[in-house]
Structure 1
């Protein structure tokens, strides 16, 4: 505001002396008598003169002396007015002023948030998917993004209209504080930028300033991941390691891979069919971060791998290696494409990866194709490429963030799934397939507390016990059929029961993880929140809802 000080002072001084001069010069009224303008009339006339509106002479026609004075006052008043307006417009258009104004408005919007929220650092492909998923689950977010054009595009979309966003670096301590880091309802910080070192700095900063909240960070570098783990980062997401691990799972247990894929897919999307990568020779084009992890997992599964890479210094590390990009026929032929059973297009360029897939398909259409995709705008191209599996980095990271934030029990269930035998995985697959109608499930968690706990006590006081089956049945249906869902986990204190029996007794503070159709979640919530429905399921008797009739029925 210092820049406006001089123009405003000049404007007020010119205005004051102009009013004083106009009041001092006498005029005449309608009857020809001497007349001095009032201060209000003079102030009004000078105002309309400054702004060049010009409503005319008031309250009477001016004398020659008054008109001469107005002529002398006209230029300095208009100049003072235009100078002030020009300075004000220059200030409004100034980048620093705009940034300061937007930051102040951002801080006000953050302070107005009363619900639990997460700070999301980075609003690229991963960040936008993460924020969209959190909003869909009713969780508020605050965004810090380094690119101004990205924030502007975000503001144009209706679904992000109420998401506070600011331009700046997420590793800036002051900006994190402005984003609500110290607010009690700040649940955690999610670092989604494309730069591992930036994510590391954000994680360290938050853990130093507020060690009690969750920090979730993306990292594709093993050294950075180990560094994050050393100071207790709550979740470290490496999309390439996750994808390579899932391919390894598909090789060792297709049914476990299938169950995992169903549980992490977008609710309502079509269920994936069984994926069985071949156990013959493989070609990996690109031995960078993603390719290196794929090579390691394939070799760990006992499969022969030929590496194709354009960097000569990477090739000596592998027994079978060919120098080249993999987009050329002669390179793939030298790598043994005719005898291979699978190929991984893992370069850092989406177009090159598509070219590898197309060239390889021309040479050997029987191959199992795996492709890496980095840019979301290429989704349709990769869908049309016919690749059996596509490693979409942003989608993998966003799903892991959402799972860690909204359904941490799902992570423990999938870890148990991987450790279990095939029979357990087949039981889970059979139960899910029975209820899902070929559509990916919704995932939800109910904790038996608050109103639900009061209803549970109410029913237990009038019945022997409440078991899992009592909330799995449709209380609003005459047939009382089972809801289309599966209970995956029951957590009680430090103990967890996976795929619990329907006869297990429910207790206060139990946490239950379910997968199924969304209508099952709504119906189950109705049963848990309505003591009469829960009582009906538990006893087979439906109590009257009126107090008098209930009293009579209990006699």
Structure 2
């Protein structure tokens, strides 16, 4: 069981091994391949251009040597011939100038028309063939992508792989207003990205993540790249991305997907920050739901989307025989986790027909087809109504039927990958709290869950990071430099300090060390970071209090302070007469502008 709980952190940050790999500093390739669209046009259109120019040249000089009519026997000059051939060869038509043509001249002009039409047809056909050529279109797309990357000046996440998991990650990043760049080998997926309704256009290009040049071109060499996420369906490609990032940019966070433990170990050798095997993770979650139900409820609740209510306790999840029906590595990973916990597990292949679940306590429908999984789950429920049923969902298309079926547990690999990857990138302190809950004992999780529910309610809380520094909390810092300010004071309503706002202190970061569920009576210090869980409106009220000197003094002492300058001066004078003292400045200080907030 202990080994299994350790594996719960399948996405555990790799232990730093600075001396395990010898590196030589090299320049990261960031230039596009030599194929240029302009040179392709000149190379492919060389013969058509020669044909068009030759036709115009021959027809121009031919017309200049043909004599005119008996009334005007003078032949046309070269410039006059070029003028006539130009509007004739372009099929515009302008008459006979500067005078009427002879029969020979008219025959030559007719020949010019047919020759020019043939030359133009050949050139246009060649141009259309070039435009439809896949290599040319890739060159155009590559140049467009290169220009887009040069204009990127904000921090971004490089996402390699735009399948279901990659799309979920990109959508979560877009919802938070974060920029990202996408690489995927499938051009159809890249084209689909433009139709997926993101709030802004994000650079994307169809290329393999195995090519270091493409990773460099996609921003690996950029100072604005803050993380790399490898979520392709190919473990070797993900491993290649991890290797490239570790060797060329070891300071970057890299999150990788792995479908088996061998590739996961190889990624660990290259110190991947997070390695996520969703199949292995789900089996560990099932065991945790069985052995540590309160920890499972707390972790699954905190990882759910907003407005999700606290899940009920799984009453009918008990010890006994489990049946796992799967046709790929999912069945192996889940079975290995369940057996590691000492459970009796029977593995069957969906091709062998419907399994016998009459004396089983749990059934996992884990085939690669959602239709087969739903059919297997329905048959299992008919045979054993008390059975705990877990269903694997591979596509969002089948979300509505599965929701209507109401299984006890639904496993969505892409959702698990996306939530953890985005949380680790955008909200490291929030994820550290969830990760801490996964490894604490069940009693601690039960107590924390009760405290959070009593403070914020049964819906999934919103997280808010408070940076107690002069930039993000000027009034609080001015107060803390001479007086004490406790965590419970920060949670008071600035209108009525006897009312506690809907907020729960989850993590206190001081000098790089995290304290989980800190005591409400703990005194905060300047440069501390406090992660709060709560309701959005109350958290916004707490943030605004940190900028108001009067509000900070009121929540700390209960003393109501005037906010207007004249009344504040009068109040300070009266207090001084009575022997009281206020830490408020006599004149309002100029507040710094709100700087952009770092990740939670």
Q: Same fold (TM over 0.5)?
A: yes
**Are the counterparts in 2 of residues 327 and 352 from structure 1 also a CA contact under 8 Å?**
no
Distance 1:531 1:137, change over 3 A: farther
Shift of 1:507: 2.5
CA contact (8 A) 2:339 2:345 kept: no
Q: 2:49 aligned to 5, 8, 24, which one?
A: 8
**Scaled by the length of structure 1, what TM-score is found?**
0.85
2:332 to 267, 292, 317: 292
Shift of residue 509 of structure 1? 2.8
Tell me what 1:233 maps to.
Answer: 272
Quote the Cα distance in structure 2 between the aligned partners of 1:51 and 1:276.
84
Q: Answer yes or no: is 1:272 the counterpart of 2:311.
A: yes
**Aligned 8 A contact 2:301 2:308 in 1:** no
The answer (yes or no) to whether the contact 1:155–1:161 under 8 Å persists in 2 is: no
Matched, 1:429 2:442: no
Are 2:463 and 2:533, in contact at CA under 8 Å, matched by a contact in 1? yes
Mapped contact 1:285–1:347 kept (Cα < 8 A):
no
Instruction: Work out whether residues 284 and 338 of structure 2, in 8 Å CA contact, stay in contact via their aligned partners in 1.
Output: no
Task: Summarize deviations over 1:443-474 as a string: whole Å, max 9, x none.
Answer: 3433334621544433335x613332343344
Higher RCO, 1 or 2 (CA under 8 Å, sep at least 6)?
2
User: Aligned partners of 1:43 and 1:189: how far apart in 2?
Assistant: 60
Shift of 1:411: 3.3
Give the equivalent residue in structure 2 for 1:321: none
Deviates more, 1:286-295 or 1:266-275: 286-295
| Partner of residue 283 from structure 1, selected from 322, 327, 340 | 322
1:263 and 2:263 are equivalent in the alignment: no
Structure 1 gap ranges (5+): 311-323
- Cα distance change, pair 388–43 in 1 and its aligned pair in 2 (3 A): farther
Shift of 1:384: 2.5
Moved more, 275-284 or 95-104: 275-284
Indicate the structure with greater helix content.
1
CA contact (8 A) 1:119 1:179 kept: yes
SS at match of 2:515: strand
Which of residues 482, 497, 502 is equivalent to 2:520? 502
Q: 1:48 to 1:501 in 2, by over 3 A?
A: farther
Change (3 A) 1:292 1:68: closer
* Maintained 8 Å contact 1:345/1:372: yes
Q: Could you say what secondary structure the match of 1:180 adopts?
A: helix
Counterpart mapping for 1:12-411 below 5 A = 12-15=53-56, 46-54=85-93, 56-57=94-95, 62-64=100-102, 67-159=106-198, 162-286=201-325, 289-303=329-343, 305-310=344-349, 325=351, 327-328=353-354, 331-332=355-356, 337-411=357-431
> In the TM superposition, what whole-angstrom CA distance separates every residue of 1:338-395 from its partner, at most 9, and x where no partner exists?
3322222233433332222111111111111112222332222322333101111111
State the alpha-carbon separation in 1 of the partners of residues 183 and 502 from structure 2.
Answer: 40
CA distance in 1, matches of 2:532, 2:248: 36
Give 2:541's aligned residue: 523
Q: 1:433 to 1:387 in 2, by over 3 A?
A: same
> Residue 332 of structure 2: SS of its match in structure 1?
helix
Give the conservation status (yes or no) of the 8 Å contact 2:60–2:78. Answer: no
C-alpha contact 1:284 1:291 (8 A) present in aligned 2: no
* Structure 2 SS opposite 1:197: helix
Residues in 1 aligned to 2:67 and 2:497: alpha-carbon distance in whole angstroms: 98
Q: Find the aligned partners of 1:530 and 1:26 in 2 and give their Cα distance.
A: 96
Q: Is the 8 A contact 1:251 1:276 kept in 2?
A: no
Cα 1:361/1:199, change in 2 over 3 Å:
same
Deviations 1:415-463 (A, max 9, x none): 43244344432332123323544432223433334621544433335x6
Q: Secondary structure at the match of 2:472?
A: helix
**Structure 1: how far apart are the matches of 2:554 and 2:432?**
33
Residue 45 of structure 1 and its aligned partner are, at CA, apart by 5.5
Q: CA deviation at 1:254?
A: 1.7
Higher mean alpha-carbon deviation, 193-202 vs 208-217, is at 193-202
Residues 387 and 24 (structure 1), Cα distance of their counterparts in 2 relative to 1, 3 Å cut: same
In the superposition, relative to structure 1, how do residues 105 and 549 fare at CA in structure 2: closer, same or farther (>3 Å)?
A: farther
Check 1:167–1:530 CA distance in 2 against 1; reply closer, same or farther (3 A cut): farther
Secondary structure of the 2:130 match is helix
Worse-superposed segment, 148-157 or 221-230: 148-157
Aligned to 1:464: 483
Report how far residue 146 of structure 1 moved: 1.4
Deviations 1:181-226 (A, max 9, x none): 1000111210111222221121112211211111100112111111
What's the TM-score once normalised by structure 2's chain length? 0.79
CA separation in 2, counterparts of 1:34 and 1:437? 101
- TM-aligned CA distance change 1:185 to 1:203, over 3 Å: same
* Structure 2 residues without counterparts, runs of 5 or longer: 1-39, 574-600
